[in-house]
Amino acid sequence: MSETIFDKIIRKEIPSQIEYEDEEILAFKDIEPKAPFHVLIIPKKDIPTVNDITEADAELVGKIFIVAAKLAKKYGIDEKGYRLVFNCNEDAGQTVFHLHCHFMGGRKMLWPAG
Ligand code: AMP
């Protein structure tokens, strides 16, 4: 598995604005926010893309959603709504090859997404 900038963020070698952390999951503010609340929720385990998720990761991946719901509550937007996005590979515009969930909220979202 190749090293990404998110591995450095996990190891605190480069700074980030951490919104949530436990043994398996880290959530930090996106450096180029596309919404008032734009946080990346990542597993600390090195999983490059959605294609690389295995059955053994089911619980871990489930925790990403649990953290998303926690963040929505923390920001007070759980009832109003928010969007979760996983970009996978080139057509989706994935640029960092470490699994991440974009948590976006605080504004009205358009659909379909671009
Ligand atoms: P994606 O295009 O889905 O791979 O998303 C990667 C996201 O990582 C983009 O929204 C970037 O703005 C974000 N990003 C890249 N470098 C950093 C960083 N050092 N700290 C926080 N977010 C970052």
Mean pLDDT estimate for the chain? 97
- For the chain, the structural domain boundaries read 5-105
Question: What would the two tokens of residue 79 be?
Answer: 């009832």
Give the pTM. 0.98
Convert the pLDDT of each residue in 29-53 to its tens digit: 999 999 999 999 999 999 999 999 9
- 47: CA distance to ligand 1 center in Å? 16
pLDDT at 95: 98
16 C-beta closer than 6 A to ligand 1: yes
5 C-beta closer than 6 A to ligand 1: yes
Q: Is 100 a catalytic residue?
A: yes
35 C-beta closer than 6 A to ligand 1: no
Confidence of residue 1 (pLDDT cuts 50, 70, 90): low
- 28: CA distance to ligand 1 center in Å? 10
Which of 8, 68, 77, 4 lies closest to 41 in space, CA to CA? 68
Q: Count of CB atoms within 10 A of residue 26's CB?
A: 22
Confidence of residue 2 (pLDDT cuts 50, 70, 90): confident
pLDDT at 69: 98
Average pLDDT over residues 7-11: 98
In the three-class reduction of DSSP (H, G, I as helix; E, B as strand; rest coil), residue 10 is classed as helix
- 33: CA distance to ligand 1 center in Å? 9
Convert the pLDDT of each residue in 22-34 to its tens digit: 999 999 999 999 9
Convert the pLDDT of each residue in 91-103 to its tens digit: 999 999 999 999 9
Question: Considering the domain 5-105 in this protein, what is its CATH number?
Answer: 3.30.428.10
